[in-house]
């Protein structure tokens, strides 16, 4: 039988999701369901000030009046928003000052996931390996943030969103919701009402953040949603590189992850934001379970010559629906989007970016690589627009799709709008199938079929992998390989 026709049988027999375990700990839940009292409950749990509660309640009112959007190329049964927990937290959480106070089961969880939370563990790593600080978010709360003191010495604030609301209200009030407004879209609005935790970063003027920052999101509790909210501000001339990783246990129910990420760069500032998304993708054969990853990520390049770079490796989730975008407001500001989106089994992804050119001489670059295998569907959806004032705006887009097998689908939906005569946009797109000729050629040189697929796929995504911070690029490469294990018979 020809190699690729065996795809489906092979994929079906695999148990390849390696983060599917559940941590058994005592948790606090809000009562199931969603109403204004739940919003108050969440706010109270977090000891939030009155203004924050008012903001949430306003968002909740608006959300009630909105309809769930249906334009994305994904199919799923209607979500029952009353059948979920909107707050789940490990017990005995409040007021943790050091790692020793964190529930050992949680530390063990992160250890299993390969995320070092003890600073000495990070330091004890390979000599010369770059250190990075971690904010660990477990269901609805941040359990620990490492390297805070060291970062504080240079004025960098890196903490959980809940802490930022209490400790740095002036910054939060100034920036929260200014990039993704409360009622931007259905899921962002829901997030504004019930957001649980997330990371907050502020890098003061002229400071280059001395280490990589990262947040590790873990959904553990059953029937719960995760609604984190992340806000990163790079003040004038500042630089920060930030990475988020995500995993979840294998469960038969779908779980909703509706996050909001807002990035703000002032004059000459730069933010590099990388995502390695590996939520549980659901059962590859039946499509049962898995995370609905409906996320709003947007950057506002407010300052002149500022820069934001999004890099994402999307391998997990039953359904992915996200478009990390850049609003290029400042003169000469630039945005980049590098994406690898892999779908296998029954996964569906509708992802891409928006580059909104508002200022003069703004530049953007999009490199999107989609890989579909099994019976999955993978859509690139992107918008590049230049407004009348964006004279001299430039964009380059390259959008490549790779198909493995005969039952998967790839779609490309680019929107291009130039509202002035001096913008220059380029768009290149290719769709190819992983060919049996190529596979045989590589195998004839001595590589097994798995190795051959890995080599070919790594070649396909190379342009994007090299944009990731080095210590994560290797991880991402492995993840790509795992996601496609058995995709060819």
Partner 1 sequence: MLKVTNLHAEVDGKEILKGLSLEVPAGEVHAIMGPNGAGKSTLSYVLTGRDGYEVTGGTATLDGEDLLALAPDVRAARGVFLSFQYPLEIPGVPALTFIRTALNAQRRARGEAEITAPAFLKLAREKAQALKIDFDMLKRALNVGFSGGEKKRMEILQMAMLSPRFLILDETDSGLDIDALRIVSDGVNALRGPDRAMLVITHYQRLLDYIKPDRVHVLAGGRIVASGGPELAHELEANGYERYEQAA
Residues making contact with partner 1 (CB under 8 A): 1-3, 435-438, 440-449, 451-452, 455-456, 458-463
Shortest Å, Cβ 445 to partner 1: 4
Shortest Å, Cβ 437 to partner 1: 6
Shortest Å, Cβ 369 to partner 1: 10
Shortest Å, Cβ 406 to partner 1: 15
Q: Are strands 290-301 and 157-160 parallel, antiparallel or unpaired?
A: unpaired
Nearer to partner 1, 418 or 461 (CB): 461
Shortest Å, Cβ 409 to partner 1: 22
Nearer to partner 1, 50 or 437 (CB): 437
Nearer to partner 1, 153 or 444 (CB): 444
Report the distance separating Cα 326 and Cα 335, nearest Å: 6
Nearer to partner 1, 89 or 434 (CB): 434
Shortest Å, Cβ 455 to partner 1: 6
Nearer to partner 1, 4 or 107 (CB): 4
Shortest Å, Cβ 447 to partner 1: 5
Shortest Å, Cβ 429 to partner 1: 15
Nearer to partner 1, 133 or 457 (CB): 457
Nearer to partner 1, 326 or 488 (CB): 488
Nearer to partner 1, 413 or 447 (CB): 447
């Amino acid at each position: 039988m020809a190699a690729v026709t065996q795809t489906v049988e092979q994929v079906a027999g695999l148990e390849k999701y390696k983060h599917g375990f559940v941590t058994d700990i005592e948790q606090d839940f809000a009562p199931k369901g969603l109403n204004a009292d739940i919003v108050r409950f969440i706010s109270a749990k977090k000891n939030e000030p009155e203004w924050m509660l008012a903001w949430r309640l306003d968002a909740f009112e608006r959300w009630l009046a909105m309809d769930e959007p249906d334009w994305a190329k994904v199919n799923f049964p209607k979500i029952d928003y009353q059948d979920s927990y909107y707050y789940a937290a490990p017990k005995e959480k409040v007021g943790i000052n050091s790692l020793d106070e964190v529930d050992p089961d949680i530390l063990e969880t992160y250890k299993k996931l390969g995320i070092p939370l003890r600073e000495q563990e990070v330091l004890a790593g390979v000599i010369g390996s770059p250190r990075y600080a971690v904010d660990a978010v477990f269901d609805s709360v941040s359990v620990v943030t490492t390297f805070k003191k060291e970062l504080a010495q240079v004025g960098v604030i890196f903490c959980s969103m809940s802490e930022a609301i209490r400790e740095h209200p002036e910054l939060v009030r100034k920036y929260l919701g200014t990039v993704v407004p409360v009622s931007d879209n259905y899921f962002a609005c829901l997030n504004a009402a019930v957001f649980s935790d997330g990371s907050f970063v502020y890098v003061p003027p002229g400071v280059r953040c001395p280490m990589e920052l990262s947040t590790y999101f873990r959904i553990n509790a059953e029937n719960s949603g995760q609604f984190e909210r992340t806000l990163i501000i790079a003040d004038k001339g500042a630089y920060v590189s930030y990475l988020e990783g995500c995993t979840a246990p294998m469960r038969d129910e779908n779980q909703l992850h509706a996050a909001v990420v807002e990035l703000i760069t002032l004059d000459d500032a730069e933010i590099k934001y990388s995502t390695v998304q590996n939520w549980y993708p659901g059962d590859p054969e039946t499509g049962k379970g898995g995370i609905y990853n409906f996320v709003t990520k947007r950057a506002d390049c407010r300052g002149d010559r500022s820069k934001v770079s999004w890099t994402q490796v999307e391998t997990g989730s039953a359904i992915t629906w996200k478009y990390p975008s850049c609003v290029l407001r400042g003169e000469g500001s630039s945005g980049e989007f590098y994406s690898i989106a892999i779908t296998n089994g029954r996964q569906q992804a509708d992802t891409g970016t928006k580059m909104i050119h508002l200022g003069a001489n703004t530049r953007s670059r999009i490199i999107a690589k989609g890989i579909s295998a099994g019976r999955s569907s993978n859509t690139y959806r992107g918008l590049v627009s230049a407004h009348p004032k964006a004279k001299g705006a430039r964009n380059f887009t390259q959008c490549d799709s790779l198909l493995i097998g005969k039952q998967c689908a790839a779609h490309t939906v680019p929107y291009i709008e130039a509202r002035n005569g001096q913008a220059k946009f380029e768009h290149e797109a290719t769709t190819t199938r992983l060919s049996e000729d190529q596979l045989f050629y590589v195998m004839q040189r001595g590589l097994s079929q798995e190795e051959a697929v890995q080599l070919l796929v790594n070649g396909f995504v190379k342009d994007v992998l090299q944009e990731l911070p080095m210590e994560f690029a290797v991880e991402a490469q492995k993840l790509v390989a795992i996601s496609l294990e058995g995709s060819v018979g």
